[in-house]
Amino acid sequence: MSFLALSFSLIFVLIPLLLSKVLKLELEKDVVIATIRSIIQLLIVGYILTFVFESEQITYTILMVALMIGAATQNARKKGASIQGITWKLILTFIFVEILTQAILLGFNIIPAEPQYIIPISGMVVGNSMVLSILFLNRFIAEVEARHDETELILTLGGTPKQAIHNSLITSIKASMIPTIESQKTIGLVQLPGMMSGQIIAGADPVQAVQFQLLILFLLLSTAAMTSILLGFLSYPTLFNKRMQMIQL
């Protein structure tokens, strides 16, 4: 695609701008900022990836993944600011998920140990973990606040913090995983996933594109489970003090 052809795609930006203006949604500024940021950020990333791929140095690959984890942590931590130590909990979760998934992919030779495979897949893994962590934290905090009296009652009756928070924790984990599970049920029927569509547009064999997409789908399903469960079990102990009393969020 040429830059001239790409410029014509800005028509798709004008549509929401016009609709926002006509309906007085007052989203024009946000749309413009989002468009400008996406252009700048993606162009910068494009040139950086070109350099990383050509250099084939593992150090640059690690730095790119670390940058992804840092950005994901910075974005997700805002949703769990009331949970003590949420920053390091998110970092630990993202690092664990990334290392485990890459160990399986590279250990079983599912993908080559090359930057052009590791970095894009890492981006999908970390990005999905970020979204799942935000969904989990939103629901978990809401559940804890809504079930505060129930939790206090269980503690009063001699229950442990784990027993007291169990319902809130399990409900939040299930709720954060539902979007990933439901989207996979209709994949290929309602939508053609991005990776598959991109490969087909690039001229790849559709069956080969499907195989790569299935890899990503299975990977993201595992990522969803690991992120929600690990973050949940790292977070709930900090809601209680040494006397097993619940701390107000």
Q: Is residue 245 part of a domain?
A: no
Domain count of the chain?
Answer: 2
d(C-alpha 142, C-alpha 172), whole Å: 9
Q: Rounded to 5 degrees, what are φ and ψ at 191? A: -145, 150
Identify whether residues 80 and 192 lie together within a single domain.
yes
Q: Is residue 244 part of a domain?
A: no
pLDDT above 90: residue 56: no
Question: What are the pLDDT digits (tens) for 70-118?
Answer: 999 999 998 888 898 999 999 999 999 999 999 999 999 998 989 988 9
Percent of the chain with pLDDT over 90: 48
Out of 32, 55, 78, a domain closes at: 55
Quickly state the pLDDT bin for 183 (edges 50, 70, 90): confident
Out of 36, 55, 74, a domain closes at: 55
Tokens representing residue 107 in the block? 């250990």
Quickly state the pLDDT bin for 49 (edges 50, 70, 90): confident
Identify whether residues 45 and 85 lie together within a single domain.
no
Q: Is residue 248 part of a domain?
A: no
Identify whether residues 49 and 62 lie together within a single domain.
no
Quote the pLDDT of residue 214. Answer: 85
CA-angle at 195, arms to 55 and 107, nearest 5° = 60
According to the per-residue pLDDT averaged within each range, which of 56-60, 196-200, 229-233, 243-247 is highest?
A: 229-233
Question: What are the pLDDT digits (tens) for 218-235?
Answer: 998 999 999 999 999 999
What sign results for the dihedral spanned by CA atoms 200, 218, 141, 91?
negative
Identify whether residues 69 and 40 lie together within a single domain.
no
Quickly state the pLDDT bin for 26 (edges 50, 70, 90): confident
Out of 12, 40, 55, a domain closes at: 55
Q: Which residues contact 215 (CB under 8 A, 6 or more apart)?
A: 110, 111
Identify whether residues 180 and 224 lie together within a single domain.
yes
Quote the pLDDT of residue 191. Answer: 63
Identify whether residues 216 and 138 lie together within a single domain.
yes
Range of the domain at 109: 58-239
Identify whether residues 29 and 122 lie together within a single domain.
no
Identify whether residues 31 and 65 lie together within a single domain.
no
Identify whether residues 122 and 96 lie together within a single domain.
yes
The model's pTM is: 0.84
Quote the pLDDT of residue 195. Answer: 65
Q: Which residues contact 48 (CB under 8 A, 6 or more apart)?
A: 64
Q: Is residue 77 part of a domain?
A: yes
> 64-97 b/e with 16+ CB inside 10 Å = b?
bbeebbeebbeebbebbeebeebeebbbebbebb
Quickly state the pLDDT bin for 187 (edges 50, 70, 90): confident
Closest CA to 101 of 117, 85, 87: 117
Identify whether residues 11 and 100 lie together within a single domain.
no
Q: Is residue 16 part of a domain?
A: yes
Quickly state the pLDDT bin for 33 (edges 50, 70, 90): very high
Q: Is residue 45 part of a domain?
A: yes
Q: Whole-angstrom distance between the N-terminal and C-terminal Cα of the chain?
A: 50
E strands, the chain, are none
Q: Is residue 189 part of a domain?
A: yes
Identify whether residues 123 and 15 lie together within a single domain.
no
Identify whether residues 83 and 14 lie together within a single domain.
no
